[in-house]
Amino acid sequence: MLEEKRQILIATTNEGKFTEIKKFLHDLNFDFLSLKDLKNIPEEPEESEKTIEGNAILKAKYYADKTGLMSLADDGGIFVDTLDGWPGVISARIGKDAEDRRKVLLEKVKDIPEEKLTASFKAVSALYNPDKEELFLAYGERKGKVLKEERIANGFGYDPIFYLPDLNKTYSELTTVEKNATSHRGIALNKIKYFLADHFSNKHIVVPVGIIIKEGKMLISKRNDPHNPRFHGKWELPGGSMEYGEKLEENVKREILEETACKVEIIKQLNEIQVVASTGKNFNYQVYLIPFVCKYIESVGEINDTEVMETKFVNLDDLTNYDFIEKNKEFLINLLPEIREVINEMSS
């Protein structure tokens, strides 16, 4: 069954900006909404901060608080070097609409030689998660120059007069894909994209586990995890998640030694792999349990009591008498025929 996508509010009513952002983030597993998609659109907050960073944070928190949705807001502007960065943070407020704002800027620079009209487009994207009161900021900057004549194709805002010498095009002459690949907003959004993918995408965790055999009995361990009542005090097979660059066999021997102080010899990887799916608040994850039958060699110390309360060797027929973590008992029962077969091979 497909999971329901989490919603993220892109806090804008500007269709051009929304399309640009949504296209950039579309392959993430979220449902992206604009303010126009809401039944009740909150009144716009006053952008009272003195920096684009401050305004981005203000808007992201404001809309998240009003809607309860994780909210992505940005603020940006065009910073003209010869005008000491003007209009900068007030770029969106020097005229009644985009066309008027371009006229105001062009009037301001009409007597300045074009070669001196270097400028930067800067953006700050703010992502605010109201569930965790967590804020993530991403910065982007693209250098170019201001043209005195508009080149109108696509785009919005100052796009028709922001020229990129390296591409010989204005922002407005780029496709959405081209603009996202090079623009100030694209640079910031790329960082947002990686943050979302890292923090909210589904996780896949590979855990090799040891079926340790000694004189026909199997070692099981009782989990010590007091902060997680689902697992604390329940039985399981020793094992843990992979370290970077580690092989499965290396992992299972290391984890067994660290948890139980047992040295083992790996005999065989069994055919069945158990997949355990869990749902978290911010992401879902699947654990893949990969079983290895191991021969007990010796104990070289004490168990790791921060992870394990106790260990014991038990008869295979008695496994059903123990309270295992979630579906581990069912997993072991399904493995028993193959485990017995390997034990017989070990004894012969």
- Whether residue 288 is annotated as binding a ligand: the answer is no
Neighbouring-strand partners of residue 313:
219
- Whether residue 36 is annotated as binding a ligand: the answer is no
Rg (CA), the chain: 30
Please provide residue 116's backbone torsions phi and psi, each rounded to the nearest 5 degrees: -95, 5
Q: 3-state class of 299 per DSSP?
A: strand
- Whether residue 111 is annotated as binding a ligand: the answer is no
Per-residue DSSP letters for 162-225? EEETTTTEEGGGS-HHHHHHHSHHHHHHHHHHHHHHHHHS-EEEEEEEEEEEETTEEEEEEE--
- Whether residue 159 is annotated as binding a ligand: the answer is yes
- Whether residue 31 is annotated as binding a ligand: the answer is no
Provide the token pair at 88. Answer: 């900068």
- Whether residue 65 is annotated as binding a ligand: the answer is no
- Whether residue 184 is annotated as binding a ligand: the answer is yes
81 annotated active-site: no
Provide the token pair at 16. Answer: 């051009």
- Whether residue 338 is annotated as binding a ligand: the answer is no
Rounded CA gap, 220 and 329, in Å?
Answer: 11
Provide the token pair at 53. Answer: 């960073």
- Whether residue 228 is annotated as binding a ligand: the answer is no
- Whether residue 75 is annotated as binding a ligand: the answer is yes
Rounded CA gap, 304 and 308, in Å?
Answer: 6
* Catalytic, out of 37, 65, 75, 131: 75
Burial of 251 (0-12, 13-18, 19+ CB in 10 A): buried
- Whether residue 186 is annotated as binding a ligand: the answer is no
Q: Where are the alpha helices (DSSP H) in 14-153?
A: 15-25, 52-67, 98-109
- Whether residue 15 is annotated as binding a ligand: the answer is yes
Distance of alpha carbon 321 from its chain centroid, rounded? 41
Rounded CA gap, 327 and 333, in Å?
Answer: 10
- Whether residue 12 is annotated as binding a ligand: the answer is yes
Q: What residue numbers does the annotated binding site for substrate cover? A: 12-17, 156-159, 179, 184-185
Q: What residue numbers does the annotated binding site cover? A: 12-17, 46, 75, 156-159, 179, 184-185
Please list the active-site residues: 75
Q: What residue numbers does the annotated binding site for Mg(2+) cover? A: 46, 75
